[in-house]
Structure 1
């Protein structure tokens, strides 16, 4: 004999919560939608009733009331086929810097009940599609990872009116946009002072891409510091912030200047590619060539020997981006200040 199926369970409604809490439906709605004007005792009664009944808010209906999507877009903007050695998406997910940013953002957004959406833009068509999607109200704001001087996205996002925070110094002054960065030039100065303090006299640098603010600032900061320390003609070879790019840049540097005894490499990932090139050329680290990197990422620990490097506190910086964005959402129409973090030098075994 087969038992009759159990009747479907009726979803808990606002009215049910109101009856348990002993308040009006309107009061329950105000508490659930985050209104700050509800009496503390009533708020507590409603919260207890929600827990007792197992009420789950209807997110779609709530969005109609609050006009909030409870989601933030993490937009990664790049140039199409920037390098032939590694495509855009593959490079992004193998870069330790990206994972640290995501972790820092989630530390702030998750407790606030906000979802993080990853969106990519690497050509005109994808940028147009992205802006169209964002205009439709699918997200409440944007954290933009954009690194290139000619990237139109910061200005396009400013025109949408969406709260936006940029990771890194903006290059287009016409776009009034909040940003979070590390003092790149101060970090490069730490590297220069350390190498000179070790007694190295033939010091060079592998820079980042010079179409990126971080690449420009790290090179300018290093050159300025070296000039102040008595070396105004520092040799520089441009790289691209990738492991393969670091290897290629080191090959070019050694071919043109084999006598170097110190090198500042503008990212740990580049250093990870550059150190094996030094070894193949018979150069020991740090005995023959002292090496300082930049980032203090997992790549610094993967280097052999482990890398002395300039630390930028990426997780804290990402948390600040999320905080700036939440403050923009909470104070609509008010601008939020940008933030610049201080770098530190982490001493390991390469210099």
Structure 2
């Protein structure tokens, strides 16, 4: 019975001469223990060269995972095609190497042979693979034939920033201009869609049509981990995290804060209201740290910090809160220009003069900063250059995939305009709240 158990474990039914012969031997022979061991090796060798054995061995040797979402509206063969393209472009299957046989892919994906064959035909039509009779299907290219141009995605989160935030609209202009100059295909992607809780196949459906991705704004840790896992070439704009090995184009956020702090300190301000914007925004918090490093000096200079949004209405609300709390300050430093403009408008609506009563300073040097009245003192960041350099860095990554990750820091400079000035006599003491200054002016 020993041989019968070995055979039945690997061959459910005697479908060929070898199996029939082994069944016959099992019925007619009584062998020693040594012969039993040799006999088991013969059975295992037969299993190794059987179709079932080959498939099992191939499954165990494949180091990538195929996931098919049965609930997706994307057809199963299209999901498989996209995932195979991703494996090829990430060099999990190299040019010149064979694809796994159809039966192994069927086992890995749970799809029928007809569905797998349809996906293989798509890969062949796009010029990625070539089938050779008797040998298999081999990878011959990383770029689909249908794509005549390199395809780049631009993702921004939150999506509304492209319309509401002049900073990112100018960055995007730099991206689009550079893409046009280099004849690239550029797609705008909704950042919220990319990080939403949907299936893997939908995200792959978006990303697998791209050669690389430019990301503006801060993404959640879970999405950064996902990007690292799928190894799509990425460049981050205005955000840099040493934890993740991605290329980035940004500015030294702390140095930006130091420029503002140094400027207001030189003007003689001792008490500053700092409107930091969003507390979870890494860039805004780094700017605040830089400002404190340069401006705050115990016993001489201090700042009061209020967190809020990053738009003009946020600036208005934070000024209203500061006045309600009767915080003393002779100058306002804001995390970006739009906050600063909102703060300046609120101060002026309440009867204060800028910069006579209060100096106001922003960061970014967006277009409205120069056209507002008075023109806003701010820190200039090369926004359009940031977009252009992102394209250049991404193309370099596509050309040399294994190059060391690079972070490009763009130059920044203070743009001194008419919204800041020397501290007034009332502001020198740093103890008089602004409502008292306004009351004094009315009298």
Answer with 275-284 or 225-234: which moved more: 225-234
Structure 2 portions without partners, runs of 5+? 1-123, 129-140, 421-443
1:342, distance to aligned residue in structure 2 (A): 2.6
Is the 2:240–2:250 contact (alpha carbons within 8 Å) kept by the matching residues of 1? Answer: no
Q: Which residue of 1 aligns with 2:167?
A: 97
**Equivalent position to 2:154, from 74, 92, 103:** 74
Is the 1:223–1:232 contact (alpha carbons within 8 Å) kept by the matching residues of 2? Answer: no
Separation of aligned partners in 1, 2:407 and 2:187 = 23
**Equivalent position to 2:218, from 147, 150, 157:** 147
Is the 2:211–2:232 contact (alpha carbons within 8 Å) kept by the matching residues of 1? Answer: yes
For 1:296-335, what per-residue CA distance to the aligned partner results, in whole angstroms no more than 9, with x for missing partners? 0012124221100011111112211111100001112323
Q: Which residue of 1 aligns with 2:177?
A: 107
**TM score, norm. by length of structure 1:** 0.73
Separation of aligned partners in 2, 1:200 and 1:295 = 22
Separation of aligned partners in 2, 1:130 and 1:115 = 21
Separation of aligned partners in 1, 2:202 and 2:415 = 39
Q: Which residue of 1 aligns with 2:391?
A: 322
Structure 1 portions without partners, runs of 5+? 1-59, 79-87
Q: What is the root-mean-square deviation of aligned Cα atoms in Å?
A: 2.4
Q: Which residue of 1 aligns with 2:258?
A: 189
Separation of aligned partners in 2, 1:183 and 1:323 = 20
**Equivalent position to 1:342, from 408, 411, 434:** 411
For 1:190-244, what per-residue CA distance to the aligned partner results, in whole angstroms no more than 9, with x for missing partners? 1111112112222121002121111110111111111259656410111221111
1:348, distance to aligned residue in structure 2 (A): 1.2
**Equivalent position to 1:227, from 292, 296, 309:** 296
Give matches, 1:148-297, under 5 Å: 150-171=220-241, 173=243, 175-228=244-297, 231=300, 233-297=302-366
1:255, distance to aligned residue in structure 2 (A): 1.9
1:155, distance to aligned residue in structure 2 (A): 2.1
Separation of aligned partners in 1, 2:240 and 2:259 = 23
Decide whether aligned partners of structure 1 residues 135 and 93 sit closer, same or farther in structure 2, where only a CA change above 3 A counts: closer
Report which structure shows greater RCO (CA 8 Å, sep ≥6).
1
Separation of aligned partners in 2, 1:154 and 1:231 = 42
Q: Which residue of 2 aligns with 1:57?
A: none
Runs of 4+ aligned residues of structure 1 deviating over 6 Å after TM superposition are 60-63
**Equivalent position to 2:196, from 124, 129, 134:** 124
Answer with 221-230 or 314-323: which moved more: 221-230
Decide whether aligned partners of structure 1 residues 107 and 62 sit closer, same or farther in structure 2, where only a CA change above 3 A counts: farther
Decide whether aligned partners of structure 1 residues 165 and 287 sit closer, same or farther in structure 2, where only a CA change above 3 A counts: same
1:127, distance to aligned residue in structure 2 (A): 8.8
Separation of aligned partners in 1, 2:345 and 2:229 = 47
1:257, distance to aligned residue in structure 2 (A): 3.6
Is the 2:249–2:408 contact (alpha carbons within 8 Å) kept by the matching residues of 1? Answer: yes
Helix, strand or coil at the partner of 2:363? strand
Is the 2:271–2:302 contact (alpha carbons within 8 Å) kept by the matching residues of 1? Answer: no
For 1:125-179, what per-residue CA distance to the aligned partner results, in whole angstroms no more than 9, with x for missing partners? 369576322453x11100011325x442222112111110111333471x21111
Separation of aligned partners in 1, 2:353 and 2:156 = 38
